């Protein structure tokens, strides 16, 4: 099983982060939510690994289940 | 008195007084089946074909009127083939392959099911449930005429039962008053509200879905293509879904999601139903309303499907949402699983413990069906704003990108369960063979020129030998095939993989019990014993 990467793995993270914020500029609450949901689904498909995604969903929760991930 | 709870579409087993009603002492039957719905009748036919005497008691005298199941899946048709009435079902049924999905007023995608080739039966057919039940009963009548030991008693309502060490005592009410009988084994096929379950004080736990659906079956001879149409948020049913499906006799099923807080009586008014239909099919299309009803659903299961000498099968044991057509299809597979086991135990070929595997295997299947049908219901009826958010995101994406299509869930069509982990499976002797044919899986069909593989199998154990020598063992039927029989290559694809030869042991319900790279008589004998539940038979 592939482990979810939780160490630094993204080059140009400032650029991507800024692009994410810009995408939400001018959107109302509902539109922002919808954009996030679409983005999650697109990324899920791109990652294409159910095990990694389940770990990611756990890691994102308010209370990460796996101690290693904390 | 026997209450009439519903109207019948076909009167198939009118009440007739039998001598047993006057007998001084209750008569004993090997198997009593309570309930003559699709599951009870499939089981009766299977037992009858095997020469195992059974008695069906139903509190009505025919098939209930009204719309319930319309989709019957390939596995059910294969079981019907084994039982003798598959052809009849397929001849009458409607086959479809193209589905269209709409959102608001636009088509967002269409699909062609393109079923895998080499199967005798289509992925599924649409056929009204009353026909399905009628054809089963007609087949029972044909088999009775040539000696199958099946008896059906209409307007015989079971009103009580007691379990004893070696039998079940049953109280029955009839238009001529009550009588008693006894059964070695009793199978409760008495539907979702199972009176037997209630009499035994057993739980039926699960989830109720807060939604109502309106069914309108209409007759029209407009030449609409035979396609399945599914709408999200259409102009004629804002904020909800709708479905349109073809049935035989120029009847179409329209199914409208209505939401939870509705005025049922107002929604059922004929004018209102007809107005909905007209808005869906077009105001200028003439139609007759054949049937309408509102249904709600729940996904529930009993804890255990075997309680001593009493078994639960079909809706009495488990209930699912209609999405995915897993109710009747799942129930017929219960019958398929239980029939040969009861026969083997009653004939002395297997010990009693074989019957425990019925619960193990069919509970596993029911949990799969419940999971699938609950997920479809969650997609159609999002329970929270977050669920709705993702559902709508999927629909947004479907219009832009192909990848999101498989995420649209308006029902995952019933497929048979692979009994992974079943105690009846023999450890896989061909671990690198095709995974679809591992022990526990239902045998896949393959076209063999002018016949098909599944129809070559027997109704008892079958030994399938491909590409190597084998001999009949312990009376099991031998089907020996060579590469020359496999013009399409599907046999190799589905049963050999990279292996040059293989030997499969097929159970009487056409699930795979064992497989090996080569034949060995002693190994086969041992495997048959294990697939009959081991123990000292
Ligand atoms: C709207 C709708 C759509 C559906 N669509 C599909 C579909 O497309 N595909 C699919 O596979 N399934 C579908 N289903 C589910 C399917 O209809 C059921 O799963 C199926 O009828 C269950 O069969 P059964 O034999 O277990 O029970 P039932 O059909 O309910 O039969 C039970 C029988 O027991 C009898 N009985 C009850 N109590 C007693 C008693 N005390 N004594 C004697 N007899 C008794 C009853 O009279 C009845 O004949 C649908 C259901 C609904 C409501």
Is B404's CB within 8 Å of A34's CB?
no
What's the pLDDT score for residue A67?
44
What's the pLDDT score for residue B537?
41
Confidence tier at B475 by pLDDT (50, 70, 90): confident
Chain B contact for A47 (CB, 8 A cutoff) = no
| Ligand 1 contacts CB of residue B502 (under 6 A) | no
**Cα gap B65→B53, rounded to integer Å:** 29
Strand B462-466 relative to strand B477-481: parallel, antiparallel, unpaired?
A: parallel
Strand B150-153 relative to strand B227-232: parallel, antiparallel, unpaired?
A: unpaired
Q: Which of B327, B330, B366, B372 is the best mutation target for the ligand 1 pocket, counting ligand atoms within 8 Å of the beta carbon and taking the most? A: B327
Mind listing the pLDDT tens digit for each residue in B343-371?
999 999 999 999 999 999 999 999 999 99
**Whether domain B19-94+121-205+299-368 has CATH 3.40.50.150:** no
Long-range contacts of B199-204, Cβ-Cβ distance < 8 Å, separation of 24 or more: B199/B160, B199/B161, B200/B161, B200/B307, B200/B310, B202/B302, B202/B303, B202/B307, B203/B302, B203/B303, B204/B300, B204/B301, B204/B302, B204/B319
Is the pLDDT score of B272 beyond 90? Answer: yes
Residue spans per domain, chain A? 13-68
What's the pLDDT score for residue A65?
63
Chain B contact for A43 (CB, 8 A cutoff) = no
What's the pLDDT score for residue B168?
98
| Ligand 1 contacts CB of residue B153 (under 6 A) | no
**Whether domain B435-531 has CATH 3.40.30.120:** yes
What's the pLDDT score for residue B66?
77
Q: Which atom of ligand 1 is nearest to the CA of B172?
A: 42
Is B392's CB within 8 Å of A34's CB?
yes
Residue B163 dihedral angles phi and psi, to the nearest 5°: -95, 135
Instruction: Locate CATH 3.40.30.120 in chain B.
Output: 435-531
Predicted ipTM of the assembly: 0.93
Distance from CA of A61 to the nearest CA of B (A): 14
Rounded to the nearest integer, the mean pLDDT of chain A is 92
Chain A contact for B388 (CB, 8 A cutoff) = no
**Cα gap B86→B83, rounded to integer Å:** 8
Is the pLDDT score of A66 beyond 60? Answer: no
Cα dist. B67→A25, B130, B404, B520 in Å? 51, 8, 33, 51
Centre of ligand 1 from the C-alpha of residue B185, in Å:
21
Q: Which helix (H) or strand (E) holds B523?
A: helix B521-531
| Structural class in CATH, domain B210-295 | alpha beta
**Cα gap A29→B402, rounded to integer Å:** 27
Mind listing the pLDDT tens digit for each residue in B288-347?
999 999 999 999 999 999 999 999 999 999 999 888 899 999 999 999 999 999 999 999
Residues of A in contact with B403 (CB under 8 A): 42, 45
Nearest to B182 by CA among B25, B17, B27: B27
Confidence tier at B536 by pLDDT (50, 70, 90): very low
Q: Which helix (H) or strand (E) holds B264?
A: helix B264-268
**Cα gap B125→B71, rounded to integer Å:** 6
DSSP code, position B360: H
Nearest to B289 by CA among B263, B330, B251, B345: B251
Is A38's CB within 8 Å of B396's CB?
yes
**Average pLDDT score over residue span B80-98:** 96
Is A40's CB within 8 Å of B397's CB?
no
Centre of ligand 1 from the C-alpha of residue B128, in Å:
13
Residue B12 dihedral angles phi and psi, to the nearest 5°: -110, -25
Instruction: Locate CATH 3.50.50.60 in chain B.
Output: 19-94+121-205+299-368
Centre of ligand 1 from the C-alpha of residue B371, in Å:
20
Residues of B in contact with A38 (CB under 8 A): 393, 396-397
Tell me the two tokens of residue B375: 């997920």
Is B404's CB within 8 Å of A37's CB?
no
| Ligand 1 contacts CB of residue B325 (under 6 A) | yes
Confidence tier at B111 by pLDDT (50, 70, 90): confident
Centre of ligand 1 from the C-alpha of residue B351, in Å:
31
Confidence tier at B404 by pLDDT (50, 70, 90): very high
CB within 8 Å of B181: residues ≥ 6 apart: B20, B26, B27, B28, B29, B32, B55, B169, B170, B172
Contact B520, B88 (CB under 8 A): no
Is the pLDDT score of B535 beyond 80? Answer: no
What's the pLDDT score for residue B9?
83
b/e per residue, A8-39, with b = 16+ CB within 10 A?
Answer: eeeeeeeeeeeeeeeeeeeeeeeeebbbbbbe
Centre of ligand 1 from the C-alpha of residue B405, in Å:
32
């Amino acid at each position: 099983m592939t482990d979810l990467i939780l160490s630094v793995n993204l080059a140009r993270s400032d650029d991507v982060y800024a692009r994410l914020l810009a995408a939400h500029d001018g959107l109302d609450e509902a539109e922002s939510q919808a954009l996030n949901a679409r983005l999650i689904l697109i990324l899920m498909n791109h990652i294409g690994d159910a095990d990694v995604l389940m770990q990611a969903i756990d890691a994102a929760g308010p209370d990460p289940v796996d101690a290693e991930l904390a | 008195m026997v209450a009439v709870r519903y109207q019948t579409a076909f009167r198939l087993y009118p009440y007739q007084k039998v001598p047993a009603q006057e007998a001084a002492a209750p008569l004993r039957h090997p198997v009593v089946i309570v309930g003559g719905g699709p599951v009870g009748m499939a089981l009766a036919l299977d037992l009858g074909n095997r020469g195992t005497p059974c008695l069906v008691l139903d509190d009505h005298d025919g098939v209930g009127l009204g719309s319930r199941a319309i989709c019957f899946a390939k596995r059910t048709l294969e079981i019907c083939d084994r039982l003798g009435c598959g052809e009849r079902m397929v001849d009458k049924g409607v086959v479809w392959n193209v589905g269209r999905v709409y959102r608001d007023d636009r088509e967002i995608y269409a699909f062609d099911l393109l079923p895998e080739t080499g199967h005798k039966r289509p992925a599924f057919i649409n056929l009204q449930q009353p026909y399905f039940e009628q054809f089963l009963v007609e087949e029972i009548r044909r088999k009775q005429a040539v000696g199958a030991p099946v008896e059906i008693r209409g307007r015989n309502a079971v009103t009580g039962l007691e379990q004893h060490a070696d039998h079940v005592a049953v109280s029955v009410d009839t238009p001529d008053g009550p009588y008693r009988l006894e059964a070695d084994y009793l199978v409760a096929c008495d539907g979702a509200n199972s009176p037997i379950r209630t009499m035994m004080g057993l739980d039926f736990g699960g989830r109720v879905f807060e939604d109502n659906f309106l069914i309108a079956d209409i007759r029209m001879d407009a030449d609409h293509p035979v396609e399945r149409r599914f709408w999200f948020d259409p102009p004629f049913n804002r904020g909800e879904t709708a479905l349109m499906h073809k049935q035989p006799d120029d009847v179409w099923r329209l199914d409208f999601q209505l939401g939870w807080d509705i005025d049922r009586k107002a929604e059922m008014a004929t004018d209102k139903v007809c107005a909905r239909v007209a808005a869906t099919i077009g105001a200028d299309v003439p139609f007759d309303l054949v049937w309408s009803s509102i249904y709600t659903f729940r996904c529930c299961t009993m804890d255990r499907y075997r309680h001593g000498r009493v078994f639960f099968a079909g809706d009495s044991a488990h209930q699912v949402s209609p999405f995915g057509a897993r109710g009747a299809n799942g129930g017929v597979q219960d019958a398929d699983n239980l029939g040969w086991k009861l026969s083997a135990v009653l004939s002395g070929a297997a010990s009693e413990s074989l019957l425990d595997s019925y619960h193990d295997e069919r509970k596993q299947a029911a949990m799969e069906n419940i999971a699938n049908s609950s997920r479809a219901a969650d997609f159609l009826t999002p329970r929270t704003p977050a669920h709705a958010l993702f559902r709508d995101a999927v629909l947004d994406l479907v219009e832009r990108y192909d990848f999101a299509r498989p995420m649209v869930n308006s029902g995952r069509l019933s497929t048979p369960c692979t009994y992974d982990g079943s105690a009846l499976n023999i450890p896989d002797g061909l671990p690198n063979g095709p995974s679809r044919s591992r022990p526990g899986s239902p045998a896949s069909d393959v076209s063999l020129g002018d016949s098909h593989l599944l129809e070559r199998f027997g109704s008892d154990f079958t030994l399938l030998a491909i590409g190597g020598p084998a001999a009949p063992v312990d009376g099991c039927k031998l089907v020996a095939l060579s590469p020359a029989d496999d013009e399409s290559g599907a046999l190799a694809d589905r049963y050999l993989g990279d292996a040059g030869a293989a030997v499969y042991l097929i159970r009487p319900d056409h699930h795979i019990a064992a497989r090996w790279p080569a034949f060995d008589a002693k190994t086969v004998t041992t495997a048959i014993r294990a697939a009959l539940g081991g123990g000292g038979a």
